[in-house]
């Protein structure tokens, strides 16, 4: 094959969910938005449901439809984006639970789907999604009377444990919700790691399930192996790739591997990233192009058939550091051309 292999370890994914669940005394859901952080929401959700997860979160209703198809009836699937115009039939037919974010959404939901499950999202200072303090004061009585499944908010700086915004948002959330009988949720992965004060009734880990920071104890979930299409032998002074971006300083053996920015391997790793052949490192040289990457394999004692970009020697966050980004972007950018292989569960 000339496409890369993306190996997804579902047993590691489940182990990460169980490890995060063990840090709480409340229910632990699973965030499977963005197609399960790029790994396949159906496969991911099914593995987690078998492990005991009963509540799942997606970003938009269309994602919820894919997860419902995989899981069937029963598990609760909540939609962070709420009840958007045009989503009514999908929410109703597929028993999705929108997290309502505005007075407009509250009105739309209660009028279009009376008696249908919903939750409320509150803005505690992130200024992204959720009803603000004065809006909550205006709609709290009517919405709580309809018995929402959850009242939630989201932390802006949970990956920085000492950031004062964490304590601030926790205090605001208490002020907005103390005294209600509805289950509450504030913590995603970072919030779980902040401690039990942030856990309330439900935690919603996302990135930590997939092996990403800030969950440093996470097991690696993915490996990317890229096939070598061609080997070129260059003399000192010859150049490689677009723009003559790299020039040999010695006679070199260059492997052209099948992947590029169309596969989510962003151009920012050009001339910076490291590939691996077993425990031997091989530098990426020149620019990442749409479909191809060139790697210096001069020091290998044998000709490789494939090289590893993400695996035991280099995790998602290490590659993200090279690119000047975060593991979330690496995972969710993975393209459709990989041959996906699922292990376990």
Active-site residue set: 33, 242
Q: What is d(CA 50, CA 10) in angstroms, rounded to the nearest whole number? A: 11
Under 8 Å between Cβ of 226 and 309: yes
In degrees, rounded to 5, the angle at the alpha carbon of residue 150 between the alpha carbons of residues 148 and 153 is 130
Q: By three-state DSSP, how is residue 184 classified?
A: strand
Q: What is d(CA 309, CA 337) in angstroms, rounded to the nearest whole number? A: 16
Quick one: which of 43, 54, 57 has its CA closest to 8? Answer: 43
Q: How, if at all, do strands 5-9 and 292-296 pair?
A: unpaired
Q: What is d(CA 297, CA 253) in angstroms, rounded to the nearest whole number? A: 6
Alpha carbon of residue 158 to chain centroid: 15
Backbone dihedral region of 225: left (phi > 0), alpha (psi from -120 to 50 degrees) or beta? beta
Q: How, if at all, do strands 184-185 and 5-9 pair?
A: unpaired
**Helix count (H) and strand count (E) of the chain?**
11, 19
Under 8 Å between Cβ of 43 and 30: no
Q: What is d(CA 80, CA 105) in angstroms, rounded to the nearest whole number? A: 12
Q: By three-state DSSP, how is residue 14 classified?
A: helix
Q: What is d(CA 55, CA 44) in angstroms, rounded to the nearest whole number? A: 13
> Secondary structure of the chain: what % helix, strand, coil (to 5)?
35, 25, 40
């Amino acid at each position: 094959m000339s496409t890369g292999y993306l190996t997804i370890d579902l047993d590691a994914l489940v182990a990460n969910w169980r490890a995060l669940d063990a840090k709480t005394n409340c229910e632990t859901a699973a965030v499977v938005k963005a197609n399960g952080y790029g790994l396949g929401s159906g496969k991911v959700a099914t593995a987690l449901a078998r492990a005991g997860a009963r509540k799942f979160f997606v970003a938009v209703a269309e994602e919820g439809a894919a997860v419902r198809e995989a899981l069937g009836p029963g598990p609760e699937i909540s939609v962070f984006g709420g009840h958007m115009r045009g989503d009514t039939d999908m929410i109703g037919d597929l028993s999705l639970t929108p997290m309502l974010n505005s007075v407009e959404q509250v009105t739309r939901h209660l009028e279009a789907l009376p008696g249908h499950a919903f939750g409320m999202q509150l803005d505690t200072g992130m200024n992204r999604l959720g009803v603000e303090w004065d809006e909550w004061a205006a709609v709290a009585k009517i919405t709580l009377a309809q018995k929402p499944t959850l009242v939630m908010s989201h932390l802006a700086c949970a990956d920085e444990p000492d950031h004062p915004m964490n304590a601030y948002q926790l205090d605001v959330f208490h002020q907005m919700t103390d005294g209600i009988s509805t289950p509450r949720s504030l913590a995603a992965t970072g919030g779980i790691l902040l401690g039990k004060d942030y856990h309330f009734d439900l935690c919603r880990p996302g990135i930590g399930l997939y092996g990403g920071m800030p969950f440093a104890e996470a097991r690696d979930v993915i490996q990317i192996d890229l096939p070598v299409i061609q080997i070129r032998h260059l003399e000192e002074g010859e150049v490689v790739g677009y723009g003559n971006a790299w020039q040999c300083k010695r006679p070199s053996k260059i492997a052209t591997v099948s992947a590029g920015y169309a596969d989510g391997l962003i151009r920012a790793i050009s001339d910076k990233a490291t590939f691996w052949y077993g425990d031997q490192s091989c530098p990426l040289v020149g620019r990442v192009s749409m479909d191809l990457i060139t790697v210096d394999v001069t020091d290998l004692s044998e000709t490789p058939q494939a090289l590893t970009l993400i695996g035991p020697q280099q995790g998602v966050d290490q590659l993200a550091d090279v690119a000047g980004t975060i593991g979330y972007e690496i995972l969710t950018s993975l393209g459709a051309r990989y041959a996906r292989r699922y292990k376990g569960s």
